[in-house]
Amino acid sequence: MKKKKIIILAVVGLLVALGLFSLLGRKAENPISFQTTQIEPGEIMTNITATGTIEPVTTVDVGTQVSGIVKRLYVDYNSVVRRGQIIAELDRTNLLSDLSTAQTRLRSVQIELDYQKKNYARYAELKEKDLVSLAEYDVALENYRKAQESVRIAQQDVARAKTNLGYATIYSPIDGVVISKAVEEGQTVASGFSTPTIVKIAKDLTDMQCIAKVDEADIGEVQEGQRVTFTVDAYPDDVFSGTVKQVRQNPIVTNNVVTYEVVVTAPNADLKLKPGLTASITIYTLERSGVKSVPAAALRFVPEPSVFGDKYVIKDTTADHKLWTLNGNVLTAHKVEVGVTDGIRTEVLSGLDEGTTVVQGFELGVATLPGKKDSKDKK
């Protein structure tokens, strides 16, 4: 009796095992669902980012070529000035004294010249009559020439003193706006080895530029004429537009990091952009619209025989770039020539026509036991 029960339990266990094997065997036939896409016109765009500083296109540091005390200052911050307008005046006391001294010396050497001229004329007449020696004649001639040279030097000193006196009045060299002021009335400026700055004038604040610092790894993609957008913290919701105006060749090395300056136009009709603002810049190095393209993932799709088994026929081809089409259970590779890419979409130059449906990827179903949630592996 006990032996009979053992046989019955063994048979039941075998049937259960066969049932589980059959169930798991059916579930192991994982269904494959393909993700497809079409070759269609699209937009391909690449860009690089950088930071920069807003600057006026033209700025002039207006200074003085002579030393003195600032007697009058006619402008202030944001003052609008015209070319030739008086900006400041220096005290002229010392300059007038220098001019007077130079003029007095000129009169003195002119008197000396008159004397030496007459003296030379007498010696020349006596020499013709052999009444003086040649040495005495030469001395008279030399003194006359020295007097002439002294007059020329004195005349130059007078001209220089007059010029310096003129420098005491400082004029604006351009039309513009005063953006900085370095001195106040009563302050002494000294023009020793450099010209002291009085004010800085920006020519036109409605026409600004942005000096971007582009990393050496990206500078090769930047060219004049490329479209640029940028934002500034002062107006975070506004996006400003410009174009690349100049790519400067001079490298700037900071903490062993090499960057290059790129000049970007920044129209400023509403005067929102102010000198010195920091800008976050995007330079569009590639912009192509309406090009025949596919998602870049489609070019990375590779059907592995170990995954697809005997259910699908794989017709591969030798090519650097290929796209796959699905017809029933046949996966066919097509050699294609690709163009530009932005990492998201890639241009298809030849190999397949626009509108062709190609495989981009697939989803592989996974068998699950009762009571557990289904899950999927994606590739």
pLDDT for the residue numbered 163: 94
Q: Phi and psi at residue 40, in whole multiples of 5°?
A: -150, 165
pLDDT for the residue numbered 271: 92
- One domain, residues 104 and 232: no
Q: What is the pLDDT of residues 146-158, one digit of tens each?
A: 999 999 999 999 9
- One domain, residues 275 and 331: no
* Residue 106 falls inside a structural domain: yes
Within 13 Å and on the Cβ side, how many CA atoms surround 86?
A: 11
Last residue of a domain, one of 261, 287, 313: 287
- One domain, residues 81 and 142: no
- Can you give the CATH number for the domain in which 87 is found? 2.40.50.100
- One domain, residues 335 and 369: yes
pLDDT for the residue numbered 26: 43
* Residue 6 falls inside a structural domain: no
* Residue 5 falls inside a structural domain: no
pLDDT band at 369 (very low <50, low <70, confident <90, very high): very low
Summarize the confidence of residues 13-26 as an average pLDDT. 48
* Residue 129 falls inside a structural domain: yes
The CA distance from 189 to 173, in Å, is 20
Q: Which long-range contacts (CB under 8 A, 24 or more apart) does 117-123 make?
A: 117/144, 117/147, 119/143, 119/144, 120/144
- One domain, residues 264 and 275: yes
Summarize the confidence of residues 171-191 as an average pLDDT. 92
- One domain, residues 196 and 64: yes
* Residue 8 falls inside a structural domain: no
* Residue 23 falls inside a structural domain: no
Q: How many CB atoms lie within 10 A of CB 167?
A: 15
Q: Which one, of 204, 317, 216, lies nearest residue 258 by Cα? A: 216
The CA distance from 198 to 189, in Å, is 9
- One domain, residues 177 and 302: no
**Amino acid present at 188:** T
* Residue 14 falls inside a structural domain: no
Q: What is the pLDDT of residues 242-287, one digit of tens each?
A: 999 999 999 999 999 999 999 999 999 999 999 999 999 999 999 9
Q: Is 208 within 8 Å of 92 (Cβ atoms)? A: no
pLDDT for the residue numbered 15: 52
pLDDT for the residue numbered 375: 39
- One domain, residues 275 and 336: no
pLDDT at 5 over 60: no
- One domain, residues 247 and 193: no
Last residue of a domain, one of 287, 317, 339: 287
- Can you give the CATH number for the domain in which 281 is found? 2.40.30.170
pLDDT band at 18 (very low <50, low <70, confident <90, very high): very low
Bridge partners for 257 per DSSP: 254
pLDDT at 373 over 50: no
- One domain, residues 308 and 233: no
Q: Which one, of 115, 184, 187, lies nearest residue 146 by Cα? A: 115
- One domain, residues 316 and 352: yes
- One domain, residues 191 and 72: yes
Question: Residue 328 sits in which domain range?
Answer: 29-44+292-378
pLDDT at 366 over 70: no
Number of structural domains (the chain) is: 4
- Can you give the CATH number for the domain in which 141 is found? 1.10.287
Last residue of a domain, one of 141, 166, 191: 166
Summarize the confidence of residues 105-121 as an average pLDDT. 95
pLDDT for the residue numbered 191: 79
